[in-house]
Structure 1
Amino acid sequence: MNSEANPRDTQGTAYHKAYPESHQVKEVHLWPVVDNGKDYYVERNGVKFAGTHLIIDLWGATNLDQLELTEDALRESAEVAGATLLHCHLHHFSPNGGISGVLVLAESHISIHTWPERSYAALDVFMCGDCDPYKAIPVLKRAFEPERVVVNEQKRGILA
């Protein structure tokens, strides 16, 4: 397996060319956040739950085979939502095969799977604590320019 350092990232990014050659894997390793003992459960409208999980479908979307743009959009989504990035792993099925990946956050995750041939992307934005996953949506719209966006919300880990 060959690894090349990415000069624009000083946080341990490595691109891996794995067999077959048409697939590229990108990983970013960051130092873990120290547990501060805080309860990251959310309380909203009298309901206490683990976090908000947005299931997002982007239809008629563009740029779905652009690895760098996708990484930038996901990182910005995490940042504007107030989340802490721990790890980024993106897999580019090339050429023109789409991207699958995940940002592991201290507050949960953001994942993406794209189908450029269908102009479709499926994303999960799951966050707990003080993060606001809804703030990621404008970033995703700007990056992928979808004609239609469908968002479904699930409250995860509801306490009875």
Structure 2
Amino acid sequence: CFIAAMQHRTEDVCWSACRTLGTIAARGDPVVIAALTSALDSPAKAPALMALERLGVPDPDVKVAVLRCLHEVDPNQDKTRDFSATADALLALGRVAERGDLEALAVVREYLADQDEIMQSYAVEALGMLAPRGEAAELEIRGLLEADLPAGRRDSA
């Protein structure tokens, strides 16, 4: 029922279904994880990314699909990246990095040097997900920010 609702034309219904599916997926349900991954190639991409963010994307195939969302272009704007998808994908990768995935951490770090300040701020937020790991993680994040951010952006981070 929730998987069908995820494809509903009404945006509120779609987002609500994805929130619930994210909770179910976090319990390891492979059918729901597959449905959310499939939704990354549909109009339900943004809410599916939000649901996968909750999940922490433990499955390698899901991670590949999320990484693909970073490089998509907005279908309404020629050669312009889809900022919403990129931001949601960065936050989902922040959850992956929180679980110790070094590839996800490296991708998020790349976005600290992005030309767009909004993307930099999402990268900072994604790195902030590592903070609950303790003092060592906080020092690691502080070092990343100081090393990778332009001087004017360090204070806001």
TM-score (norm 2): 0.28
The structure with the largest helix share of the pair is 2
Bigger relative contact order (CA 8 A; separation at least 6): 1
The structure with the largest strand share of the pair is 1
